[in-house]
Amino acid sequence: MKTKSVKTFLSAIIVVSVVSSWAHYYVKPIDKAMWLIGTWENKTSRGSVYESWKKINENELSGKSYTVKGADTIIFETVQLKQEGDNLYYIPTVRNQNDGKPVSFKAYTITDHKMVFGNPEHDFPQSVSYRRLNQDSLIAEISGVQNGNVRHETFPMRRLK
């Protein structure tokens, strides 16, 4: 009888150890996106476009894309980067698109340096990605099929703060 109790006790200790070590090393998908926090600039021939990200809570970042014209800030896109369960979603709301409603893109690649989100049902883009080159630079990309043609846009950005 003692041997059964000892085996049960040892089994319980092993299970608790495995679960607690897994929990200790588990990194939530949103945690791999924290490097986005800050303000990024994409210089274009028509001026600069900015993207700013901030942490809302343990499961959400909030972003916005905008330009500055004189004293005016013109926001053309707001984004929620939101973790729901084990899934991470990129949810943009673009002015004058999709009837002003948010569109959800589910992450299908998440590493310490790259995030790729997809929504095959969306008109364009069907894919949105962010690739960190180093601490102060990234490349954002949108791609997909539009009007029967494959389209791909790249936005190199550098961190301002």
What confidence score (pLDDT) does residue 15 get? 55
* Distance of alpha carbon 42 from alpha carbon 48, whole angstroms: 6
| Domain count within the chain | 1
Considering the domain boundaries, does residue 70 fall inside one?
yes
Considering the domain boundaries, does residue 152 fall inside one?
yes
* Distance of alpha carbon 80 from alpha carbon 97, whole angstroms: 16
* Distance of alpha carbon 128 from alpha carbon 12, whole angstroms: 44
* Distance of alpha carbon 81 from alpha carbon 91, whole angstroms: 6
Token pair, residue 59, equals 């499961």
Q: What is the pLDDT of residues 113-137, one digit of tens each?
A: 999 999 999 999 999 999 999 999 9
12: pLDDT strictly greater than 60: no
Q: Domain of 98? A: 28-159
90: pLDDT strictly greater than 90: yes
Considering the domain boundaries, does residue 15 fall inside one?
no
What is the mean predicted confidence (pLDDT) over 2-22?
Answer: 56
Cα 147–Cα 150–Cα 80 angle in degrees, nearest 5: 90
Q: Which residues are within 8 A (CB) of 60 and not within 5 positions of it... i.e. 6 or more apart?
A: 30, 80, 81, 82, 83
Across the chain, mean pLDDT equals 89
Considering the domain boundaries, does residue 4 fall inside one?
no
What is the mean predicted confidence (pLDDT) over 40-48?
Answer: 92
Note whether 95 and 76 are within 8 A (CB).
Answer: yes
User: Which CATH number fits the domain that encloses residue 155?
Assistant: 2.40.128.20
Helices (H), the chain: 2-25
Considering the domain boundaries, does residue 19 fall inside one?
no
Query: Structure pTM?
Result: 0.82
Note whether 53 and 41 are within 8 A (CB).
Answer: no
Q: What is the pLDDT of residues 72-89, one digit of tens each?
A: 899 999 999 999 999 999
